[in-house]
Amino acid sequence: MTIVYFYQYFTTPKGSYGTRVYEFTKNWVERGHKVIVITSPYAKSDVRATKFLETQLIDGITLKIINVSIDNKHSFTRRIYSFLVYTFFSIFYALTLKCDLVIASSGPITVGVPGLIAKIFRRKKFVFEVRDLWPEGPIELGILKNKFIQKMSYAFEKKCYKSSSLVVTLSPGMKSHITDRFPKTNAISVTNSANIKLFSSPKEIITHPQLVGKKFAIYTGNIGMVNNSELLYRTAKKLREEGRDDIVILLIGDGQQKEEIIKKSEGLNTILFLELMPKVELVNYVKNALVSIIPLNDTPILSTSSPNKLFESMAAAIPVIQTTNGWIKKMLQESQSGFTVSPTKEDELFDKLVFLADNEIEAEEIGKRGLEFARRNFDKNILSERMIKAIEKIKK
């Protein structure tokens, strides 16, 4: 069948963002389906265009690129503008592209518009993929404060769920949240995945001068409030104060708080910042790390999240330390592959880092358990097949 996939953040492993849609759709093409992804250039993606509307072919996947940039550093108003421009031109594709089925991958929730257009005006099957809970997430985080816009967003969210033939959530927590509110929703959970082959390949020695001879904990991704980056700074400060200069916290990424935290960290030799890098280069840093830190903010909605770094860290056979109280905490307990600490108390994170640094054999065993769990549950091939089988079922 021909699938049109509305997703603004498409990237390949040459980019610096999650490759879920690339990995999944590449597998679907190999399975015999035709996939057209409607996307736009994201700051962390390797997708770029020279024309405003441009078509490219990557590994059998057709990309229709709407050349409006998206960057986490942009203001809220600027990002809304980008979302609306993308939505407007996506409607054109929703009305004109030949297809059997459309997938809209949210957030932002505005990406549901072209999906609904194809459903209502062309009677196409509509799959709604939920990567983030909108508008609940922005409301809890204090980003979306206007009551009228909140009300309209909830109404639109309801329309998307009720109009879809299938809802695909990226975590069990998201699925429960949706089915509790809309019991008749046909929903499945297909988490983010890991490229096991890529992340479990042999590692090379890290030569960065600040990391040579040190044990380092790694954080990859957005450096900002939602990701609780301040906790990493405070923990690095405590490492220095307690004389544990043998442990370094490495942050690889970008974001609105990066410059602020770099300034605070001046003089600390227990924290290091590196720029965004392609995933193919990032892999070696992850594989060499003592542990991966996922320090999400103390907000209930974030307990439903499905961060790429979780699955990639497990695939790299390193322990995970995270801060939420939802499905990830339960999964780490079940797999015995990591720890949960307070999102506000740097002492707890400090203690776990010291424990792992002083008990390397145990740390390796924890990482191995994570890899085995990832092989069984989070391999990209297993999860891409789960999603396409659910899609094929509704198309019959």
Closest to 171 (Cα-Cα) out of 375, 380, 369, 378: 378
Positions of E strands within the chain: 2-6, 34-39, 53-58, 61-66, 101-106, 125-130, 166-169, 187-189, 215-222, 247-254, 271-274, 291-294, 320-322, 338-340
CA distance 313 to 289: 9
Judged against a pLDDT cut of 80, whether residue 76 lies above it is answered with no
Q: 138-142, 225-229, 274-278, 386-390: which range is least confident on average?
A: 138-142
Confidence class of residue 139 from pLDDT cuts 50, 70 and 90?
Answer: confident
Confidence class of residue 229 from pLDDT cuts 50, 70 and 90?
Answer: very high
- Per-residue pLDDT of 18-56, as tens digits, reads 899 999 999 999 999 999 999 999 988 899 999 999 999
Mean pLDDT on 143-165 = 90
Mean pLDDT on 175-203 = 92
> What is the structure's pLDDT at 202?
85
For the chain, give the mean pLDDT.
Answer: 93
Fold classification of 196-377 (topology level): Rossmann fold (3.40.50)
The 187-189 sheet, strands edge to edge: 53-58, 61-66, 34-39, 2-6, 101-106, 125-130, 166-169, 187-189
Q: What residue has token string 């995945």?
A: 193
Judged against a pLDDT cut of 90, whether residue 392 lies above it is answered with yes
> What is the structure's pLDDT at 110?
87
* Side-chain half-sphere CA neighbours of 271 within 13 A: 26
> What is the structure's pLDDT at 217?
98
Q: What is the CA radius of gyration of the chain?
A: 21
* CATH topology agreement for domains 2-193+379-395 and 196-377: yes
Mean pLDDT on 284-310 = 93
The 320-322 sheet, strands edge to edge: 271-274, 247-254, 215-222, 291-294, 320-322, 338-340
- Domain spans of the chain? 2-193+379-395, 196-377
Residue 281 · residue 193 · CB < 8 Å: no
Decide: residue 98, CB within 10 A, 0-12 exposed, 13-18 middle, 19+ buried.
Answer: exposed
- Per-residue pLDDT of 85-108, as tens digits, reads 999 999 999 999 999 999 999 878
pTM: predicted TM-score of the whole model, two decimal places: 0.91
Judged against a pLDDT cut of 80, whether residue 396 lies above it is answered with no
> What is the structure's pLDDT at 81?
86
Give the contacts of 18 (CB within 8 A, at least 6 positions apart): 9, 11, 192, 308
The number of beta carbons lying within 10 Å of the beta carbon of residue 96 is 9
Residue 83 · residue 110 · CB < 8 Å: yes
> What is the structure's pLDDT at 59?
96
Judged against a pLDDT cut of 80, whether residue 74 lies above it is answered with no
Q: Quickly list DSSP for 253-311.
A: EE-TTHHHHHHHTTT-SSEEEE----HHHHHHHHHH-SEEEE---S-GGGGG---HHHH
> What is the structure's pLDDT at 200?
82
Confidence class of residue 295 from pLDDT cuts 50, 70 and 90?
Answer: very high
Output DSSP code: residue 209.
T
Q: What residue has token string 């995933």?
A: 279
Residue 187 · residue 165 · CB < 8 Å: no
> What is the structure's pLDDT at 77?
79
Residue 375 · residue 151 · CB < 8 Å: no
Pairing of strands 187-189, 215-222: unpaired
Q: Quickly list DSSP for 312-367.
A: HHHHTT--EEE--SSHHHHHHHHHT-EEE--SS-HHHHHHHHHHHHH-HHHHHHHH
Pick the CATH number of 2-193+379-395 from 2.40.30.10, 3.40.605.10, 3.60.21.10, 3.40.50.2000: 3.40.50.2000
Judged against a pLDDT cut of 90, whether residue 70 lies above it is answered with no
Give the contacts of 155 (CB within 8 A, at least 6 positions apart): none
Confidence class of residue 58 from pLDDT cuts 50, 70 and 90?
Answer: very high
Confidence class of residue 16 from pLDDT cuts 50, 70 and 90?
Answer: confident
Closest to 39 (Cα-Cα) out of 48, 28, 31: 48
